[in-house]
């Protein structure tokens, strides 16, 4: 058992909570549960976070903790209720028995589920999305590394406020929430407080929302996109993607990869971009000052705003990059949130490109750690947390999709092109592997 886990066990005599934001966290959770089980602990364990699910908890986690119970909590607002059920001496046994029966049923359904039908990778490639070369309209002449500093006041109009309220466990869309019979008063108060805090943050000289971006000439080759130096014509990097392989009906038989949205023509005028934006460590430190003084509300408020400012800067920067690339657009904030513009900015770790390890290439290309003081953890989470990275696909045909499950033939090919240890790669892509 790790020292951290031992400390947690000493401090907690009632229950433990584990949260996972990225896929490799799942393996750490399973490992921790295995250690707890082997050491004889039986405290209830709550599982939550963006990368977790009810099915994964039942199938992969709960069996590793036979002496205790593992509960998936999909939303932070449900934690109090779950804790109340688990800690109630009179009713907890019934709650736990019902939960374990449900998990056993989930495992049974999983084992009896219909086997996934795949097409082999060669067939998937033969039925890939066919790019319309006429939709390659790139006009940018800027292939330099660009450094950005965003004024907080200029970001206000790009803020998507809905997730801000979700962080406070208020579900719904802003500004409709202002008319909610249940939440309107709380929403108005939070919105006013948030804007007052933005006024304060905008006057803090050491708080800056920063970013990096760059474009490269490029071409595609199967599931890879090769980046080419604009001046020298030499290869500078290669991004690897995955292709859909789960068998589709003939009417929908297109097997997408992000590489399909880049021309395979070596002499094309196609372009791909990469970016990183961050609210910075300074805003985290500013929040900590309030926390240390006992003002938890302001601390949480600042951290929630830091996430929104990072997202807003990503939106503003994407708009700048599209316009630099020839887009003649004038979208409202609502239209930007609904992604009415042409092109996409997928982030590694999301359904279209689930491999977090590819972020390393962005960090090298943009010299991120030196220029922004933003780093990747050993499992490729970004630190400071209010930071975002991704790619720019400018073509009109580009769209988001989910890769889903892939077959062994594609994984073998992908692993050969990766510099990552195969065990770690399997951990990163565990949700995409048929095992």
Domains 3-112 and 121-432 in one fold: no
State how far the Cα of 307 lies from the Cα of 165, in Å rounded to an integer: 12
Q: Strands, DSSP E only, in 230-334?
A: 235-240, 271-278
> How long a stretch of residues is the chain?
435
| Contact assessment for residue 255 and residue 127, using Cβ atoms and an 8 Å cutoff | yes
Cα-to-chain-centroid distance, residue 234: 31
Q: Select from 35, 52, 33, 55 the least CA-distant residue to 44.
A: 33
State how far the Cα of 53 lies from the Cα of 46, in Å rounded to an integer: 12
pLDDT value at 34 more than 80? no
pLDDT value at 174 more than 60? yes
Residues 6 or more apart in contact with residue 109 via CB below 8 angstroms: none
Beta bridge pairs of residue 146: 213
pLDDT value at 151 more than 90? yes
**What does the DSSP assignment read for 7-21?**
HHHHH-SS-EEEE-S
- The confidence score (pLDDT) of residue 1 equals 46
* Region at 56 (left for phi over 0; alpha for psi -120 to 50; beta for the rest): alpha
- The confidence score (pLDDT) of residue 85 equals 82
**Structure-model confidence comparison of residues 37 and 367, the more confident one:** 367
Q: Select from 362, 408, 407 the least CA-distant residue to 382.
A: 362
- The confidence score (pLDDT) of residue 369 equals 96
| Contact assessment for residue 219 and residue 268, using Cβ atoms and an 8 Å cutoff | yes
- The confidence score (pLDDT) of residue 383 equals 93
State how far the Cα of 341 lies from the Cα of 5, in Å rounded to an integer: 47
Mean pLDDT for the chain?
88
**Structure-model confidence comparison of residues 67 and 300, the more confident one:** 300
What letter does residue 181 receive in the DSSP assignment?
A: T
CATH of domain 121-432: 3.10.196.10
Domain boundaries, the chain: 3-112, 121-432
pLDDT value at 11 more than 80? no
pLDDT average, residue stretch 303-325: 95
> Tokens 């094309």 — which residue?
268
Stretch (H or E) spanning 47: strand 45-48
pLDDT value at 80 more than 80? no
**Structure-model confidence comparison of residues 278 and 421, the more confident one:** 278
pLDDT value at 171 more than 60? yes
End-to-end Cα separation, the chain, in angstroms:
27
Sign of the four-CA dihedral 133, 135, 137, 143: negative
- The confidence score (pLDDT) of residue 22 equals 64
Range from 79-88, 288-297, 337-346, 405-414 carrying the lowest mean pLDDT: 79-88
**Structure-model confidence comparison of residues 338 and 375, the more confident one:** 375
- The confidence score (pLDDT) of residue 114 equals 64
pLDDT average, residue stretch 107-132: 87
State how far the Cα of 311 lies from the Cα of 279, in Å rounded to an integer: 9
pLDDT value at 50 more than 90? no
pLDDT average, residue stretch 112-124: 87
What letter does residue 177 receive in the DSSP assignment?
A: G
pLDDT, tens digit, 9 for 90 and up, residues 203-222 = 998 899 999 999 999 999 99
pLDDT, tens digit, 9 for 90 and up, residues 259-303 = 999 999 988 889 999 999 999 999 999 999 998 999 999 999 999
Q: Which CATH architecture has domain 3-112?
A: 3-Layer(aba) Sandwich (3.40)
pLDDT value at 54 more than 70? yes
pLDDT average, residue stretch 390-419: 94
């Amino acid at each position: 058992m790790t020292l951290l886990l031992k400390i947690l066990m000493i401090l907690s005599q009632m229950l433990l909570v584990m949260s996972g934001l990225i896929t490799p966290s799942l393996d750490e959770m399973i490992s921790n549960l295995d250690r707890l089980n082997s050491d004889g602990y039986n405290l209830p364990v709550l599982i939550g976070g963006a990368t977790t699910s009810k099915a994964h908890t039942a199938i992969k986690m709960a069996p590793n903790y036979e002496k205790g119970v593992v509960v998936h909590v999909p939303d932070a607002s449900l934690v109090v209720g779950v804790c109340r059920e688990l800690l109630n001496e009179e009713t907890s046994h019934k709650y736990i028995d019902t939960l374990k029966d449900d998990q056993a049923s989930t495992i049974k359904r999983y084992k009896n589920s219909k086997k996934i039908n795949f097409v082999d990778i060669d067939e998937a490639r033969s039925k890939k999305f066919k790019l319309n070369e006429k939709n390659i309209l790139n006009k940018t002449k800027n292939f330099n590394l660009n450094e950005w500093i965003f004024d907080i006041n200029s970001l206000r109009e790009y803020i998507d406020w809905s997730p801000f309220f979700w962080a406070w466990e208020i579900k719904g869309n802003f500004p409709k929430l202002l008319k909610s019979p249940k939440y309107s008063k709380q929403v108005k108060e939070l919105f006013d407080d948030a804007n007052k805090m933005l006024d304060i943050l905008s006057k803090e000289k050491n708080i800056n929302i920063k970013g990096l971006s760059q474009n490269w000439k490029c071409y595609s080759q199967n599931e890879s996109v090769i980046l080419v130096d604009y001046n020298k014509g030499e290869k500078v990097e290669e991004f690897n993607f995955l292709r859909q392989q789960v068998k589709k009906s003939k009417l929908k038989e297109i097997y997408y990869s992000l590489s399909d949205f880049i021309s395979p023509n070596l002499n094309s005028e196609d372009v791909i971009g990469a970016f990183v934006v961050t609210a910075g460590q300074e805003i985290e430190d500013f929040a900590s000052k309030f926390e240390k003084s006992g003002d938890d509300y302001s601390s949480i408020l600042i951290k929630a705003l830091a996430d929104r400012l990072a997202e807003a800067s990503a939106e503003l920067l994407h708009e700048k990059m599209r316009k630099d690339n020839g887009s003649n657009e004038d979208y409202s904030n609502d239209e930007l949130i609904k992604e009415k513009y042409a092109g996409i900015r997928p982030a590694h770790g999301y359904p279209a490109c689930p491999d977090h390890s590819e972020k390393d290439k962005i960090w090298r290309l943009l010299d991120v750690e030196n220029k922004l003081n933003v780093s990747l953890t050993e499992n490729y989470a970004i630190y400071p947390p209010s930071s975002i990275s991704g790619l720019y696909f400018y073509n009109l045909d580009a769209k988001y999709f989910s890769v889903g499950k892939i077959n062994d033939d594609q994984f073998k090919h992908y692993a050969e092109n990766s510099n990552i240890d195969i065990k770690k790669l399997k951990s990163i892509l565990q949700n995409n592997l048929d095992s």
